[in-house]
Structure 1
């Protein structure tokens, strides 16, 4: 079973690396090794499960891809009817919600759109409830996220959730509720929404009310950014979701209570042994708790793993823990092969595997606290390579934090929360605070302890993503370090871990320059790297109080590149799409010097004539001149970076007036690479300016299907007439250019790291 499960997983992971789903003919080729290994039944079994995993994922993923929104329907006014699929999430610009489409039309013609879409509605009077049927006019587009090294893959996230289109609700005509009655299909969602509302009413404005609601129904929207940050720094995020740990707690508690109660009058009531009854009752209780979270993917995995463990009791079989884990792994992948795209899949299975491996045969009479501490050590060390590989960070205080927090949550906070939720479910809202308020008191006390741990100087380790070979070495190291006492050369595991921390990412050689135009949508953010220095030019937009390009794109990129400090940060001017991410960047990295093109952004003002040299690469600020300083777009900083292998010109949002001044001033404008002024707007890129620059490569930092329709067709035509090669961030993702002895090499991250779920290149 263990070999079969690993082979099935391997087949899935092979397909996950493909830019397009393999054809049936390609999958048939995988059967060829069977003919070569027919004399070895075990090898044949492994190959068959490998092929089965690849085939199963190809089939399931193909069904989802068939739901992709037709390109011709993007940006059109569509009339859709359907059901509110889940609890709407409030934001600064209205509600976001998932919508199950029953019918769709373009004008008078029926059209086919994906079954589930993600919508937003800015109407303050829009107050839908789960399961209601609505008619609304929407504009949709295909899933399309930022694609940058080290960044979050939003398209993968939507694909895993089976969402193949997203958009917004039009104001006119207004959305119309057709049927306030609810179908049975959405019964669980209605219960979750109603329970959350009543919990908030009971708890009021208590500091940790959002955490209590999350533990009760899986709705985490009430948890503040500060609370999330503390949980991340202490490695305790898993405690505030209806996770496998909490589900196992509920199942275990009900198992022992049901077993005791069933055996009270005698061992065999209705000829059903008490352990079997307890196992069934425990699973049903766990399933009910998972339902409160809407049966999201983490709870599905936990239920499958629990079903395997409790099934062994029902079948009266004694299976090795590794066999139970392998069986659960296989069943989870059969149920949902796309689970491998979720970090939670790897975190849950690796954590359990580390515990099983570290505590096997642990019968040495150690105290309960010592054994619990050993478990936390095993989980902390076993998860370290995975956390650095997935998130480029790991909590160093996690073992100590979980040593204290897990018992507090699972023995006190969660039971009190469930008791309070049960009282509310029984209509006893008046006495529910007797359980819920003590739960918030416990969280207040625990929060002060976790806050102290989070404030420690090295509470969280953050670094670049290790190379794959370094991760492989680290796995060997953790296996050695977690081996039982008496295992030879356990201490050598430390040596195997060293590449995880000591091997640095590649960097430019002396005299070389690496330039990256990041994909931040309708905005600008770029990074220039020399051998020992780094410059950030603009930081993208701030989209809301909880999301900005600085923290979502720029910071992860710099971290994965191994950059620990920024020598110069240039904020070309004060527009949000250029400066909105600056606070996040300044909070994450020490910055030696800031140049600003706006009085609203602190720093040394950009002025023509500023210049410096790094590692054989020259930097020169060409503008703005004093008369244009602070004049909105025309007051943008203009930076020219030149090396022996090529030149880049960064022009911010300058328009015709600033371009004319640059020509009159006679400053050197010739550049091999030009970041198009003002995103390719027709107010810029005047013929005279282009004639002076004569770029061979032109980069357009624009958003996918942006409302400004940048770049303008007339501007594109001017560049094409010059014979320049054109690139844009929606098609290419982050645009990476290396200036070295070979000349200029340009690559797009989206194309280089393409997977089958990513959008194909197309116009902005």
Structure 2
């Protein structure tokens, strides 16, 4: 059987080992304990058993599996701690960063010890802690206090940014607040080198209109960038320029390399062997880059770029050609050996795929003198290839793409890399000796003029929203491209395409869908059929500015390509109507008119709305308060009925079953989030749902659903789900059955399971 592949040129054994290792890490991280993991593992073992060239792949694959579990157990797995919501614990922590510089301080801290809990000594977990104190806190301070601490947890919805996964990547496992006077056991009294550097950069760039840009380019710290600026940079497709990456590391390395070379020439140091002395220049350049990474606070993207640079230099020093595919492979392997969970970081994929694309474009011209015009054309081709090659990633992570990003990058990348960044590095050195703010202000004036000119382009022309791209689809897209680029295996590129096609053709289509979103203590529901949707309640609003409309509701509407034809607000409580302002701002105010012709402050009108074979009937009960006047929505399709009751109490429930003695439901969203003032025995016996959903917060203030309510449903063998435990709950109704899905079950990997 080995002859089957004997006619193909075999790569180095190290390439096979690294390929297997990367595959093992990827498959284990994303699919461990699933059928996909066992299927792929069996395929690798089978291939290695029949084809000897696959034996190194199997060895690397096994090492990758082992390393992922090893890292998880040593650095990411946390022991069970007795962290009750109302029970403070004594904890000792060290301040890593301060996010609010006045009391109560909001700090990111490294936990040294927690009462009754065993923590990793090698790499202590992190926590976000609110510290109430009159004392001055500084980075590096070691603090002891009684803390109400709980595991880091956020809402979990389909098609939305996963804050829990983002926190996991940072090893941010807890959050809490101090409930006693703190004791600073070891006060540093002086800032760290990183803080001194950042304060210096902040000082020398003060007064410039684009200070946030210069500060981010030189330090990697994006804290000075406003949300508006972040959004604008994303729409322009140049957010990548502000992350310390290969562009920045390469430039600092070049400064160190040529600086040392220039000093050698000035001092007329005799050089006998060019390659040997170049190795020393490279080492000095690498030290410059490493110092830059250190001063940036070891940003993940900066460390990754430094490792790639180190790998490339090492291969060059070994008298090998570093500009080959295996260099990228070795660099990625090194990154994953240090921490395989780096695979969760989107920047890893953007970095390595971008480098691979650049290499693919320039490999035919390596060592050739192209001339100025051909080099400019090549730079244009690189930007075009990057735009196309990174498009699937952009759609997956950002649900859209910058329509002018290609043109903007053609101008912005040369300006930043050739003019702005070298100028800023030189300016920061000269400012140690001279006061030269006018130099910066001159550059600042020109750059700000260019930036404001670009921002004159209408927003709808800068960014194009796309439907949500699923993770499996993303993997299949890049698998297809990879196989297509590997000439001997090009025919196999059809396999991923066939998998996607058959999956789409064979997947059954639901008659209608119910989405109960995870919005903490509140309610936000969407009913959809084909491409039409009706929204029931808009969730809470916090601090007068934050809600879940943009991040959750609109994200799902765009992902599912839905048109909202009507909106219902059950009543006036903040946890149901809080998102109204954002809903109107996004142009959906007109959808309220059908059920609320007299405005949302009045009770909803009795209406019947039909979407195909799905009928929606609205009505309300007379009552003495807003809760009992909640708009009730009954959704019927064939034999299935969904009942949404807002916050009605037991009294209104009695009126409801008196008015509609034959009222029943397949699925019930529990009245008042599962409060003990609702879900009376008479109501439950009348409605007799097969499934009840409680929309409530995890360890919330009201502790819904109430244990008595849970028991009443349990006594009648009614299945129950809570958004607090399950996250976003999605129910798909078919002709003869219905399927229940939850975000915490389907969108969580093995290391995120409760």
Distance 2:571 2:447 in 1: 44
The equivalences for 1:372-521 within 5 A come to 372-422=379-429, 426=432, 431=435, 433-434=437-438, 436-453=440-457, 455=459, 457=461, 459-465=463-469, 468=472, 472-473=476-477, 476=480, 508-509=509-510, 512-521=511-520
Once the two structures are overlaid, the 10-residue window that deviates more, 286-295 or 407-416, is 407-416
> How big is the shift at 1:178?
2.8
> How big is the shift at 1:703?
1.4
Q: Name 2:711's counterpart in structure 1.
A: 717
Gaps of 5+ in 2: 1-13
Alignment of 1:676 onto 2:678:
no
Q: Name 1:633's counterpart in structure 2.
A: 627
Distance 1:596 1:259 in 2: 75
> How big is the shift at 1:304?
0.5
TM-score w.r.t. the length of structure 2 is 0.86
Residues 615 and 336 of structure 1: CA distance in aligned 2, closer, same or farther (over 3 Å): same
Distance 1:178 1:270 in 2: 57
* Equivalent pair of 2:152/2:164 in contact (CA under 8 Å): yes
Q: Name 2:698's counterpart in structure 1.
A: 704
| Structure 1 residues 644-694: Cα deviation after superposition (integer angstroms, max 9, x where no partner) | 131111122233454344345448642121111121112322333333322
> How big is the shift at 1:26?
12
SS at match of 2:294: helix
| Structure 1 residues 114-147: Cα deviation after superposition (integer angstroms, max 9, x where no partner) | 6223223264856522111112221222233333
> How big is the shift at 1:554?
2.0
Alignment of 1:649 onto 2:643:
yes
Distance 2:311 2:321 in 1: 11
Residues 212 and 652 of structure 1: CA distance in aligned 2, closer, same or farther (over 3 Å): farther
> How big is the shift at 1:477?
6.3
> How big is the shift at 1:525?
1.7
Distance 1:35 1:2 in 2: 15
* Equivalent pair of 2:92/2:112 in contact (CA under 8 Å): yes
Alignment of 1:550 onto 2:549:
yes
SS at match of 1:746: strand
* Equivalent pair of 1:230/1:450 in contact (CA under 8 Å): no
SS at match of 2:731: strand
Q: Name 1:594's counterpart in structure 2.
A: 592
* Equivalent pair of 1:146/1:733 in contact (CA under 8 Å): yes
Distance 2:705 2:427 in 1: 56
* Equivalent pair of 2:236/2:462 in contact (CA under 8 Å): no
Q: Name 2:10's counterpart in structure 1.
A: none
> How big is the shift at 1:12?
0.9
* Equivalent pair of 1:612/1:618 in contact (CA under 8 Å): yes
Residue among 133, 147, 167 paired with 2:142:
133
| Structure 1 residues 366-410: Cα deviation after superposition (integer angstroms, max 9, x where no partner) | 443322211111110110122223332222221111111112222
Residues 471 and 314 of structure 1: CA distance in aligned 2, closer, same or farther (over 3 Å): closer
Distance 1:739 1:125 in 2: 57
Q: Name 1:118's counterpart in structure 2.
A: 127
SS at match of 2:704: coil
SS at match of 1:97: strand
SS at match of 1:242: coil
Residues 118 and 605 of structure 1: CA distance in aligned 2, closer, same or farther (over 3 Å): same
* Equivalent pair of 1:69/1:164 in contact (CA under 8 Å): no
Once the two structures are overlaid, the 10-residue window that deviates more, 399-408 or 410-419, is 410-419
SS at match of 1:447: helix
Alignment of 1:66 onto 2:73:
no
Residues 745 and 475 of structure 1: CA distance in aligned 2, closer, same or farther (over 3 Å): closer
Once the two structures are overlaid, the 10-residue window that deviates more, 439-448 or 381-390, is 439-448
Distance 2:457 2:423 in 1: 25
Q: Name 2:6's counterpart in structure 1.
A: none
Residue among 103, 106, 125 paired with 1:96:
106
Distance 1:413 1:606 in 2: 59
SS at match of 1:360: helix
Residues 576 and 276 of structure 1: CA distance in aligned 2, closer, same or farther (over 3 Å): farther
> How big is the shift at 1:758?
1.2
Distance 1:333 1:404 in 2: 34
* Equivalent pair of 1:573/1:597 in contact (CA under 8 Å): no
The alignment covers a number of residue pairs equal to: 725
Note the aligned Cα RMSD (angstroms).
3.9
* Equivalent pair of 2:694/2:705 in contact (CA under 8 Å): yes
Q: Name 1:524's counterpart in structure 2.
A: 523
Q: Name 1:17's counterpart in structure 2.
A: 30
SS at match of 1:165: strand
Distance 2:687 2:298 in 1: 57
SS at match of 2:173: coil
Distance 1:477 1:453 in 2: 34
The equivalences for 1:16-95 within 5 A come to 16-18=29-31, 33=46, 36-37=49-50, 40=52, 42-72=53-83, 75-85=86-96, 87-90=97-100, 95=105
Distance 2:164 2:541 in 1: 20
SS at match of 1:671: coil
Q: Name 2:17's counterpart in structure 1.
A: 4
Alignment of 1:566 onto 2:564:
yes
Alignment of 1:353 onto 2:351:
no
Residue among 234, 237, 257 paired with 2:236:
234
Residues 713 and 73 of structure 1: CA distance in aligned 2, closer, same or farther (over 3 Å): closer
* Equivalent pair of 1:104/1:112 in contact (CA under 8 Å): yes
Distance 2:592 2:328 in 1: 53
Q: Name 1:143's counterpart in structure 2.
A: 152
SS at match of 1:619: strand
Q: Name 1:251's counterpart in structure 2.
A: 253
Residue among 728, 732, 750 paired with 1:734:
728
Alignment of 1:260 onto 2:262:
yes
Distance 2:285 2:252 in 1: 7
Distance 1:341 1:51 in 2: 20
Once the two structures are overlaid, the 10-residue window that deviates more, 195-204 or 1-10, is 195-204
Distance 1:384 1:316 in 2: 36
> How big is the shift at 1:546?
7.5
* Equivalent pair of 1:68/1:142 in contact (CA under 8 Å): no
* Equivalent pair of 2:400/2:464 in contact (CA under 8 Å): yes
Distance 1:517 1:71 in 2: 31
> How big is the shift at 1:255?
1.7
* Equivalent pair of 1:596/1:604 in contact (CA under 8 Å): no
Q: Name 1:165's counterpart in structure 2.
A: 174
* Equivalent pair of 1:27/1:51 in contact (CA under 8 Å): no
Residues 154 and 275 of structure 1: CA distance in aligned 2, closer, same or farther (over 3 Å): same
> How big is the shift at 1:478?
9.4
SS at match of 1:642: strand
* Equivalent pair of 2:244/2:299 in contact (CA under 8 Å): no
* Equivalent pair of 1:453/1:459 in contact (CA under 8 Å): no
